[in-house]
Structure 1
């Protein structure tokens, strides 16, 4: 491991840092573009997650029992996460070799196309088993694109950002998730309120997926007006004709860091989906809550979490990324461990507070996650390394979380204490991993050649 080198002057390359940490117009444009694209990515995922818990069991798995159909639907939900690490490695390698900006255009187009195709996909009643097969295939394509999109958007903002505001810039990427959750929930709620159950199940649910492709076109236009990041540009100039690292080089040179980052995001990644996907299904299908009520609870929780993300960005710059994640984990434990016990009370006020606390804790941590991951790798393999850590956590912990929670509920005869135990294990894993991560908050992002 070599000592970090002092980066050369970056005049003329549009670096987001001014003399005292100010931001250039290009830096602000970069963070706006990254936030918009992240919101669009999460919109598609949020719509799919909600539909997987409510509509897809009947549309694509009508011949199965309700419980098995729900498990099968959550299985298709997990297919997107299965593809994410592959997309992270493929697009990450391209991003480290040809630049962040070009790759992010590709990922948006793939994501938008896959989402639109899901929106026009015939159901099981029309084409039989081909329908769920194609659903899984399109979900896989969504995940493949998302594997490169999320990390690339983070790096686009961070590598343009002022040195002392990297955490704050990350918080804008983090709010893309709750914004999209609110958009998705309001869209589906409006459709469900306007249409009867037959119309919504037949064609109403398709509208937001098809319409998202139009939003992707707008995002691609905006993204093409953002310059390549100065960090990547200078690093490529410094390397000259030297061959840049191959896709899998980061697993050879930084394996411990990749594994530790995966484990550090285990609790946040899994509990986000247990809260937004499984608990939604549990409240509506098991406890009989009205769908508009549960949708309303999610909207309020996501709106609250936007503020938490912005606060988390400030904390990340002031107390460090690792400390911010540790503080967020403590808050997540406080709200997630009693979550299902509180849901079982059917006390709406307490449920609203608990769900909002869970999502706010995750978004508080999400504001620090991009910089924590990026600061762990040199520029030449930062895209691949960061994507491997983030998508690896999604594959191993986020993807199976709704399925595991459903299985535990069924196995233990409807008792939720096993899900609480599962939650405790996840939080312990992440706390342990954070203890092994160095705090590089004061390091120069451009000079992180370790």
Structure 2
């Protein structure tokens, strides 16, 4: 009877954990989309007015890149601290920093008010935000997955995967609503600030929910072992689990590259090369993001039924086949086939991203789970995701306006990704409370165990 009365409380905590994780992930992607759109439009003239228009645009986009560049450092440091101090404590810290930076960006004086300090402060805020986001993405995933029951880990993973497309729809919707209801002068003067300040509400909600989530059962179990006191998570992840880190990094290179190909390059190709109106391009992308929401949830839930490996292989095979016909369908300039192609492509990319959180979490023991997952996730974004927009533009110019150079690179990433999936062990139903033995950890460092302080 006592066991039965304990179940509703356990389920309530699981719901809180996935909600807390989802709010942080949603905020991350809301900011990513919002800042990306504003960096190309409003920010150059407000923060870099002394430059010519091209230099101002490049400088503004560089502030966007600085945020991405700070993420690996955030992932590594937060990964280490998360494996040492706990998931919950780190999650409270990262969401607070993210929110404060967003709000301060919305209140930041422009170049006209404080001169060169304006772009400098913008860069500092982007670096801090990028650092926090680096730790947030992996930590939020672990908070949800480590709280989930074994039969629902995939479902929780899919719920986190749908945050990206949902937040992009929200951010584009907010920008569309503001620009439609305000004059261009009003939007440039203060309208662009509103979403940044509003995003702070999401942070307050995030902090409130996270304060009500307990530490994950896996980390609580880890604290009772000797490994928690003698191990160095980052070193142990690289020394004992480097093959696992490399495999999952190579897997995620495929979805990361294709995501940027669709979301960034496709929009430019459709509007500039094909001459399709910008509004139509945004409509196509929003429609594709609706398909991505369905894809993320379907991927996570299917992986609970047939296993992570089979589900990932289905998604990876679908995107590989789509690469060979995608641009030919876009070239028709016919709305329905273009929407179907973008929806199918982004849907199956996000299908894999919906499985990624649970696949990464189950691949590592608790003592290195945060560090190992963060290394694989940010490594893939560094190698394939981040460089993809610039690489795509360069290859497009090199191939005289033909997309086949871009396709070739994405095919290579996709094939490597599929090989990584097929060579990985199945992890469905694995014990999430497992840890490396103290002997392994001590052996990896060559140090004798320190005095244990087990509780």
Q: TM-score, normalised by structure 1?
A: 0.87
- Return the offset for 1:305: 1.6
Match of 1:396 in 2: 383
Change in 2 beyond 3 A, CA 1:87/1:432: same
Match of 1:231 in 2: 218
Alpha-carbon separation, structure 2, partners of 1:158 and 1:257: 18
Cα deviations across residues 368-409 of structure 1 (Å, max 9, x unaligned)? 111211122110111111111111111221111112222223
Alpha-carbon separation, structure 2, partners of 1:235 and 1:302: 38
- Return the offset for 1:418: 2.0
- Return the offset for 1:299: 2.1
1:296-315 to structure 2, matched below 5 A, reads: 296-315=283-302
Match of 1:35 in 2: 22
Change in 2 beyond 3 A, CA 1:236/1:85: same
Match of 2:440 in 1: none
SS, match of residue 447 in structure 1: coil
1:280 to 257, 267, 273: 267
Match of 2:232 in 1: 245
Alpha-carbon separation, structure 1, partners of 2:61 and 2:68: 11
Question: Is 2:230 the partner of 1:213?
Answer: no
> Which structure has more helix as a fraction of its residues?
2
Change in 2 beyond 3 A, CA 1:173/1:404: same
| More moved, 262-271 vs 351-360 | 351-360
Alpha-carbon separation, structure 2, partners of 1:192 and 1:285: 22
Tell me, yes or no, if the aligned pair for 1:81 and 1:398 is still in contact at 8 Å.
no
Tell me, yes or no, if the aligned pair for 1:54 and 1:281 is still in contact at 8 Å.
no
Match of 1:109 in 2: 96
Tell me, yes or no, if the aligned pair for 2:23 and 2:202 is still in contact at 8 Å.
no
- Return the offset for 1:162: 0.8
Cα deviations across residues 255-299 of structure 1 (Å, max 9, x unaligned)? 121122111100111221222223334444555544433222222
SS, match of residue 247 in structure 1: helix
SS, match of residue 345 in structure 1: coil
**Unaligned regions of 5+ residues in structure 1, if any?**
1-10
1:441 to 417, 428, 433: 428
1:47 to 20, 34, 39: 34
Match of 1:90 in 2: 77
Change in 2 beyond 3 A, CA 1:240/1:411: closer
Tell me, yes or no, if the aligned pair for 1:60 and 1:123 is still in contact at 8 Å.
yes
Alpha-carbon separation, structure 2, partners of 1:441 and 1:205: 45
Question: Is 2:87 the partner of 1:100?
Answer: yes
Question: Is 2:187 the partner of 1:200?
Answer: yes
Cα deviations across residues 228-258 of structure 1 (Å, max 9, x unaligned)? 1111101112338733424333112211211
Match of 1:409 in 2: 396
Change in 2 beyond 3 A, CA 1:41/1:316: same
- Return the offset for 1:167: 0.9
**Unaligned regions of 5+ residues in structure 2, if any?**
438-455
Q: Between Structure 1 and Structure 2, how many residues are aligned?
A: 433
Change in 2 beyond 3 A, CA 1:284/1:333: same
1:7-18 to structure 2, matched below 5 A, reads: none
Match of 1:5 in 2: none
Tell me, yes or no, if the aligned pair for 1:341 and 1:416 is still in contact at 8 Å.
no
Match of 1:325 in 2: 312
Alpha-carbon separation, structure 2, partners of 1:79 and 1:157: 29
- Return the offset for 1:431: 1.7
Match of 2:443 in 1: none
Change in 2 beyond 3 A, CA 1:53/1:268: farther
Change in 2 beyond 3 A, CA 1:190/1:335: farther
Change in 2 beyond 3 A, CA 1:350/1:56: farther
| More moved, 44-53 vs 234-243 | 234-243
SS, match of residue 346 in structure 1: coil
Match of 1:3 in 2: none
- Return the offset for 1:127: 6.0
Alpha-carbon separation, structure 1, partners of 2:160 and 2:99: 19
Change in 2 beyond 3 A, CA 1:425/1:121: farther
Match of 1:420 in 2: 407
| More moved, 288-297 vs 267-276 | 288-297
Alpha-carbon separation, structure 2, partners of 1:285 and 1:135: 30
| More moved, 213-222 vs 135-144 | 135-144
Alpha-carbon separation, structure 1, partners of 2:11 and 2:259: 34
1:55-204 to structure 2, matched below 5 A, reads: 55-56=42-43, 59=46, 63-64=51-52, 66=54, 73-122=60-109, 131-204=118-191
Tell me, yes or no, if the aligned pair for 2:256 and 2:380 is still in contact at 8 Å.
yes
Tell me, yes or no, if the aligned pair for 2:228 and 2:367 is still in contact at 8 Å.
no
Q: TM-score, normalised by structure 2?
A: 0.86
Tell me, yes or no, if the aligned pair for 1:27 and 1:160 is still in contact at 8 Å.
yes
Over aligned residues, Cα RMSD in angstroms?
Answer: 2.7
Alpha-carbon separation, structure 2, partners of 1:141 and 1:241: 29
Match of 1:370 in 2: 357
